[in-house]
Structure 1
Amino acid sequence: MAIIFGGAGLALNNFSSPDAYYIYPAQDVITGAEPVLDLTGRVEVSRGVIDERTAVLVVIGQSLSVNEVPTPYVPIHGSAIDQLNIYDGKLYRAKDPLLGINVSGGTVTSQRGTWMLRMADKLVADGHFDRVIIVPMAVGNTRVEQWADSASPPYLFNKINVVGLRLRDAGLPCTAIMWGQGESDTIANTSQASYAASLKRVIAEFNHAIPNCPILVAQESYYYGNTSAAVLAAQASVVNNTTVFAGENVDLISSSGRYDNTHLNEAGADQRATLAVAALEVALGI
C-alpha cells in the first residue's frame, strides 16, 4: 500500500474560535495526568520541507504511551526527529520527556522516557524516512470510553479535533495514527462489545478530523500479568486492512520488559519500538 500523502481538508477545521483549541485539564479528573509543558531547554524548529520522506505519527493511548520509561532516550538520529506540541502548536526537536503528555509514576519535572523516540530512531536508521515528527496525545490511566465520550470530563474525545487543528495549522499531513490502550479496560473488565463500540467512535472522529490517515490499533491489554481476551478481541475486530490496520502486539512484551510487570522498562520500550516499526511497514507498505 502506498502512503496517502497530502493535504486533505480536515472536516472539523472550519473553527476559528480559540475555544476549538481548548484542552480540558485531564489532571482535574485523573491523578497524575498533568502534561509536560515546560519549554526550558527545548529547541523550536521550523516546518521545513515536508515530503514523502517525512513521517508524521500521531500517538494516542494511555500510560505506556506517555513519559513512563525510567530513563530518557537520546536518539542516534536526533537531528531528524521532531515533535508537535499539541498545546502550543509549535514544532520542537524531540526530547524525552516529550511535551504535551504526562509523566507516569512521577511529576512533570521527572526525567523519564518513551518508546516513541526509539521507534522514530529505528524508522530513520532503517531508511524508511529522513525525518519523523511525533505528535503525542496520550493520557495515562484512561479507559477507551473516556476517549469516546464528548460529554463528560476530561473530554478526551475533543482532543482529537484539537490535534487535527494543530496539524492543519502547522501544515503537516498525517502518515499514521497509532492507538495503544487497553490496560485500564482490563482492570475494568470491559466487555468486547463495549470496548469495540467506543473504539469505533474514536476511529470515526479521527476519520472526521484527520481524513485519509491510516489508523493502527495495537493489541494491548497486559496489566500486572493479566490480559483481557475481550479487549484483545475488540481491538482486532476493528481492523479492516484498508483504513484500520493491526498495530504492534504489546502483550508480547513479557514481565522482563516491564519494570513493575505493567509499564515498560528500557528493554521493553525498545521491543515495542521494533514491533511498531514492523507494524508500520505492513500498514504503510514501506
Structure 2
Amino acid sequence: MTEERKIPWGAVAIGAVAVLSCAGMLAAGVAMMRPAKNVTPEDKLASRIQGIRGMPVTAPDCAPLLHGEQPVVVLVMGQSNAANHAQPAREPAPPMPVLHDGGCGLSSAPLPGGTGTGGSLWPSVNQALNGRWQGHPIVWSVIAVDSSTIDEWAMPQSPLRQYWQMQVDRIKGTHWPVVAVLWQQGEADARDRTAMADYRDGLAALRAGVVARGIDAPWWVARSTHCPPHDGGQVREAVRQLLVIPDSGFVEGPDTDQIPAAERDGCHFTAQGVNDAAALWVARLKPVASGAAGVPGVAASGVAAGK
C-alpha cells in the first residue's frame, strides 16, 4: 500500500499571501509610475459648486405663506459669508421662503443655494424686514460659493458663471420680479491680490451679464474683504469707484469689514458676528423695503425696479 502524502496547507497559504502581496506591490508600483491627473482650477471650482445645498425634500411649500400675494425676489450672490459658513445662530430665525432650482420652499439655515452647513445672515435679515418689501412678501434666492473670486463669477467659460446663469433663468421662469441683488464677496480677491481695476471691471461685467439675462435690479454691494492676513484695500477701492459712477446700478451696501475679529472665526462670522452683520444689512435695506424714498439709485417702487 502506498502512503498517503499530506499537503502542508499552512505553507500553501503563506505562499499564496506572498504572491498576492507581491502582486499588490507591483500594481501599486505601476500606479505610481502613471502620470498623476492634473487637477485644474476649473475642477476645484466645479467640486465646490457640487457642494451647494439643494432644497430639502421635506421643505414645506412656499404657497401658504404667500397668501396668494405677488411675491418679489431678493437675490443674494457671493462667497462664504453670503452662504452657510457662519456659526449657527443662538436663536435661529423662523424658516423663510427660498427659491432654488425653480422651486420655492420654506427653509432656515443652512439655506439652499449656498455652500456650507452652518449659519447664514439672511434669515435674520428677513425676520428684521418682516419678510416684506414695499408691501410684498419676499422670496429669497441664494447663489453663493465659498472662496469664489470675481473671475470665477464673470469669466465666460467659468463653471460658476454657467451655474448662476442657469439659476437666474429659473428665477426668471417664475415671473416674480427681482427687486434687489445683494453682493457679499471680496475675501477671495483680497487673498489673491486682485488689482483694483480688474475687480472693478469684473464686477461691472458680472452685473451686465445678469442684466443681459433679464434681471435689472439694483446691486447692493457690501464691503466684504476681511480675511487675515490679506489686505482688501484694492477691492474696497474698486467698490468705491463703482458706487460713484452715475446710474451704474450699484448701491452702497454695508461695510461688514467693521465686524471685529472677536466676532469672527477666521474669515467667517461667529453667531454674534452674524447678528451684527445682519443688522448692518437691515440698516441699508429697511428704508427701501419699507417704501421710504431718498435712497440714491433705487426706484421708489421695488416691484417696478425689478424686471
Tell me whether the two structures share a fold, i.e. TM-score over 0.5: yes
Structure 2: how far apart are the matches of 1:194 and 1:251?
Answer: 21
Give the structure 2 partner of residue 13 of structure 1.
Answer: none
- The residue identity in structure 1 corresponding to 2:93 is P
**Aligned pairs (5 A) from 1:22-33:** 28-30=43-45, 32-33=48-49
Q: Distance in 2 between matches of 1:48 and 1:165?
A: 25
Partner of 2:141: 135
Distance 2:149 2:258 in 1: 21
Distance of aligned partners of 1:55 and 1:273 in 2 relative to their CA distance in 1, 3 Å threshold: farther
Distance 1:256 1:231, change over 3 A: same
Equivalences for residues 49-198 of structure 1 within 5 A: 49-51=68-70, 54-71=71-88, 74-76=92-94, 78=95, 81-85=96-100, 87=101, 89-103=102-116, 110=117, 112-124=118-130, 131-152=137-158, 155-198=159-202
Residue 85 of structure 2 aligns to a residue in which SS?
A: coil
Q: 1:70: Cα distance to partner?
A: 2.0
Q: How far apart are 1:99 and its partner, in Å?
A: 1.1
Structure 1 residues 226 and 282, CA, compared in 2 at 3 Å: closer, same or farther? farther
Identity %: 20
Cα separation, partners in 2 of 1:205 and 1:49, compared to 1, 3 Å: farther
Deviates more, 1:163-172 or 1:263-272: 163-172
In the alignment, the residues of structure 2 paired with residue 44 and residue 227 of structure 1 have an alpha-carbon distance, to the nearest angstrom, of 43
User: Mind listing any 5+ residue stretches in structure 1 that lack a counterpart?
Assistant: 1-25, 104-109
When residues 39 and 222 of structure 1 are mapped into structure 2, their CA distance, relative to the original with a 3 A threshold, is same
State the match for 1:236 in structure 2.
240
State the SS of the aligned residue for 1:140. coil
User: Do the aligned residues in 2 keep the contact of 1:219 with 1:236 (CA within 8 Å)?
Assistant: no
Deviation at 1:56, TM superposition (A): 1.6
Matching residue of 1:106: none
SS of the residue aligned with 2:75? strand
User: Could you tell me whether the CA contact under 8 Å between 2:134 and 2:288 is conserved in 1?
Assistant: no
When residues 195 and 139 of structure 1 are mapped into structure 2, their CA distance, relative to the original with a 3 A threshold, is: same
Task: Identify the match of residue 265 of structure 1 among 255, 267, 270.
Answer: 270
Normalising to structure 1: TM-score of the pair?
0.77
CA distance in 2, matches of 1:197, 1:134: 27
What residue in structure 2 maps to residue 12 of structure 1? none
- Aligned residue in 2 for 1:251: 257
Shift of residue 50 of structure 1? 4.1
Gaps of 5+ in 2: 1-40, 293-307
Find the structure with the greater CA-based Rg. Answer: 2
Contact 1:196–1:237 (CA under 8 A) maintained in structure 2: yes
Mapped contact 1:160–1:209 kept (Cα < 8 A):
no
The verdict on how the C-alpha distance between 1:198 and 1:186 changes in structure 2, with shifts beyond 3 A counting, is same
Partner residue, 1:205: 209
Residue matched to 2:297 = none
TM-score under structure 2 normalisation? 0.72
CA spacing shift, 1:101–1:28, aligned 2, 3 Å: farther
Structure 1 counterpart of 2:281, one-letter code = A
Residue 3 of structure 1 is matched in structure 2 by none
Q: Check the 8 A contact 2:172/2:214 in 1, yes or no.
A: no
Partner of 2:37: none
- The match for 2:30 is none
Query: Structure 1 residues 197, 127: CA separation in 2 closer, same or farther (over 3 Å shift)?
Result: closer
Paired residue for 2:18? none
Report Cα offsets for 1:1-54 as digits up to 9, x if no partner. xxxxxxxxxxxxxxxxxxxxxxxxx99423554111262431122265344xx4
Q: 1:125 to 1:49 in 2, by over 3 A?
A: closer
Q: Is the 8 A contact 1:217 1:247 kept in 2?
A: yes
CA contact (8 A) 2:69 2:136 kept: no
Q: Any runs of at least 4 consecutive aligned residues in structure 1 with deviations exceeding 3 A, and if so which?
A: 30-33, 47-51, 125-130, 281-286
- Structure 1 residue 128: Cα displacement: 5.9
C-alpha contact 2:72 2:133 (8 A) present in aligned 1: no
